[in-house]
């Protein structure tokens, strides 16, 4: 790269670096936390709300798993979404037994 070159930064590529992750294209919820992460930016552009966002994410997952510990994902109804800066799931229907 040299001064004046155009650059596009794709956030989703950062989590798929095979130099950092084993099987980077597979979703693995038990994957160890990376040593380096840019999920909330970097340096002076680091997100001020990152700690709250992480806490909210952890709490909602804990609460969902407490409320519905046994569930099954209906794989035929899963819809992925892709974009330049975002990728993930638009729909992920589940079936579960309510706790009485």
Assigned domain for 68 exists: no
**Residue pLDDT, tens place only, 28-38:** 888 887 777 77
**Residue pLDDT, tens place only, 33-88:** 777 777 788 788 889 999 999 999 999 999 999 989 899 999 999 999 887 767 78
Assigned domain for 20 exists: yes
Assigned domain for 31 exists: yes
**Residue pLDDT, tens place only, 9-25:** 776 677 778 888 888 88
Please choose, from the candidates 5, 6, 2, 12, the residue with its C-alpha nearest in 3D space to the C-alpha of residue 84: 12
| Two tokens, residue 93 | 């229907």
CA 93 to chain centre: 18
Distances (CA, A) of 84 to 9, 97, 99: 9, 37, 40
pTM above 0.75, yes or no: no
Distance CA 51, CA 56 (A): 9
pLDDT for the residue numbered 15: 72
Assigned domain for 8 exists: yes
Tell me the residue range of the domain where 18 lies.
1-49
Look at the chain and report how many structural domains it folds into. 1
């Amino acid at each position: 790269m040299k001064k004046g070159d155009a650059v596009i930064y794709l956030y989703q590529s950062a989590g798929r670096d095979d130099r950092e992750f084993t099987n980077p294209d597979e979703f693995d919820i038990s994957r160890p936390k990376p040593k380096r992460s840019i999920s909330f930016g970097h340096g002076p552009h680091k997100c001020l709300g990152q700690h709250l966002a992480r806490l909210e994410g952890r709490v909602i997952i804990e609460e969902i798993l407490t409320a519905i510990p046994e569930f099954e994902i209906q794989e035929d109804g899963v819809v992925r979404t892709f974009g330049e800066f975002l990728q993930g799931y638009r729909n992920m229907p589940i079936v579960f037994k309510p706790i009485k």
